Amino acid sequence: MKNMQGFWGRHPAILSIMMLAAAVFLTMTLQGESPAFARWEAEEASAVSGTPAEEASGPSEQTLAPLTVPLTENVDEMRAVWVPYLSLDMRGGDGSAVSFQEKFDEIVRTSKERGMNTLIVQVRPFGDALYESDYFPWSHLLTGRQGIHPGYDPLAYMVEAAHREGLEIHAWLNPLRIQLETNPPELAQSNPYQEWKRDPAKSGWTVDYGNGKYYNPAYPEVRRLIAGGAREIVEKYDVDGIHFDDYFYPTEKEDFDKAAYDAYKAEQGDNAMPLADWRRENINLLIREVYAAVKEADTDVVFGISPQANLQNDLRMGADVETWCSQEGYLDYICPQLYVNSDHPTLPFETAADQWCSLQRLDSVKLYFGLALYKANSDADDGTWKSSQDILARQILSGRELGADGFFFYSWEYLSADQTAQEVANVMSVLQGESA
């Protein structure tokens, strides 16, 4: 299962649409806060509003016939769908293993019927774990309280269920976020944040900033923790990939990590890098360590990152995508979140796609396009997503012409939502080789 090309060669009938929709895209940072930070807040609001992630009951569902016509071309094309943490939330139910299995079986069934070949499943949203971890406490999403064993292993079942139906599965991790407002409501005493805060020598390894808590990647011990957490997943579970999205530094403001940067400048003197360069180097060190840890555990497991679409914003927020794509030892794939359409006023889809395709990239680094299924037929971007019901289908065709290796869609809920029904049908037609 960990060799994608071999797997698809054995299963050519697994066609896919993919629908991904993730966080709210911003093309310019506002007041020094990152697009990722705004996205974190939007995720929490979505638990009530249903946008962009699902409401507790999910979007209204529609019925489409599953893909049945095998593709004769693009059989190795990545067609992935993000499964965000709210889709795996067990609070409000009985919390049993059976209930979780039923929930995930539905995710697998719908994804396969819509032509997916890969699930990107969020298993560490808040410095926690939806799996048995030696580094991070059990997620509050499973029992309502962080650190409480749910009585079963969600990731073990998710890997089994996905592979049983011929789907690959990537473990999606948020490397730096620990808490946002009251999510989770309380941190377990075993949480590394709690342990480090009790030790004055380690208190700088985490940062309380705004309404959140974050790991500080300036410290080697923090980077080792995150890399170790990725390694243990690969060692314990038969996952096909490890996935990061665009959650790196939550702000450009210097007060986020002032003490750490001041200490660095005092040590380096005139050789000290400017703040933005120093932060990028901290993240580069982290990405290299995670990549090495994954490959040490299993060379067949891929490591990929899904940054925001705006390249300059990526650089400002610590994501040195140019280095990651052009130098060995960083990643196996890059998946920019191209959550825009042709009518976007500052970064139209065609412009963003061309920029990413023009980026210097090793032959070994795959380029996937992340597409905003959640925006289809919505009021997003001044209602421009309602102007047509084949926006994503045309983006897929454009991506293929530009040489993209596949597509991610956000998110699973919108594969079967009334809002996106016609768009999904058009995407499925394109995946079966028909024109948009």
Q: What percent of the chain has pLDDT over 70?
A: 82
Q: Tokens 């058009």 sit at which residue? A: 426
Over residues 45-51, the mean pLDDT reads: 35
Tell me which of 30 and 255 has the higher pLDDT.
Answer: 255
Residues 125 and 212: beta-carbon distance below 8 Å = no
Phi, psi angles (nearest 5°) of residue 164: -60, -35
Residues 169 and 239: beta-carbon distance below 8 Å = yes
Nearest to 171 by CA among 227, 112, 100, 237: 237
Is 196 a domain residue? yes
Q: How far apart are CA 107 and CA 118, in angstroms?
A: 11
Asked if the model's pLDDT at residue 74 lies above 90, the reply is: no
pLDDT given for residue 1 in this prediction: 56
- Token pair, residue 333, equals 């794939």
Asked if the model's pLDDT at residue 276 lies above 60, the reply is: yes
Nearest to 296 by CA among 226, 237, 232, 244: 232
Is 378 a domain residue? yes
Is 189 a domain residue? yes
Rounded to whole angstroms, what are the CA distances from 189 to 145, 146, 198, 232? 11, 9, 10, 21
Is 253 a domain residue? yes
Asked if the model's pLDDT at residue 22 lies above 80, the reply is: no
Nearest to 7 by CA among 232, 162, 235, 171: 162
Is 235 a domain residue? yes
Type of residue numbered 408: F
- What secondary structure letter does DSSP report for 208? E
CA-based torsion, 374, 375, 376, 379: positive or negative:
positive
pLDDT given for residue 59 in this prediction: 57
pLDDT given for residue 149 in this prediction: 98
Asked if the model's pLDDT at residue 185 lies above 90, the reply is: yes
pLDDT given for residue 72 in this prediction: 30
Give 251's strand partners. 33
Per-residue pLDDT tens over the stretch 212-228: 999 999 999 999 999 99
pTM of the model: 0.86
**Intra-chain end-to-end CA distance of the chain, in Å:** 32
Nearest to 246 by CA among 38, 88, 413, 402: 38
Q: Are strands 406-409 and 302-305 parallel, antiparallel or unpaired?
A: unpaired
Q: How far apart are CA 297 and CA 234, in angstroms?
A: 6
Asked if the model's pLDDT at residue 41 lies above 90, the reply is: no
Q: How far apart are CA 38 and CA 34, in angstroms?
A: 7
pLDDT given for residue 432 in this prediction: 83
pLDDT given for residue 433 in this prediction: 81
Is 249 a domain residue? yes
pLDDT given for residue 247 in this prediction: 87
- Token pair, residue 360, equals 């210097």
Nearest to 312 by CA among 346, 340, 361: 346
Per-residue pLDDT tens over the stretch 132-176: 999 999 999 999 999 999 999 999 999 999 999 999 999 999 999
Q: Are strands 406-409 and 333-334 parallel, antiparallel or unpaired?
A: unpaired
E-strand ranges in 343-420 read 366-371, 406-409
Per-residue pLDDT tens over the stretch 360-389: 999 999 999 999 999 999 999 999 999 999
The tally of domains found in the chain comes to 1
Helices 275-297 and 258-268 pack at an angle, to 10 degrees, of: 100
Q: List the CATH number of the domain containing 42.
A: 3.20.20.80
- Token pair, residue 284, equals 């580069």
Per-residue pLDDT tens over the stretch 77-124: 999 999 999 999 999 999 999 999 999 999 999 999 999 999 999 999
Give 368's strand partners. 406
Q: Domain range holding 74?
A: 4-431
Nearest to 168 by CA among 290, 56, 304, 54: 304
Asked if the model's pLDDT at residue 38 lies above 60, the reply is: no
Per-residue pLDDT tens over the stretch 235-245: 999 999 999 99
Is 99 a domain residue? yes
Is 436 a domain residue? no
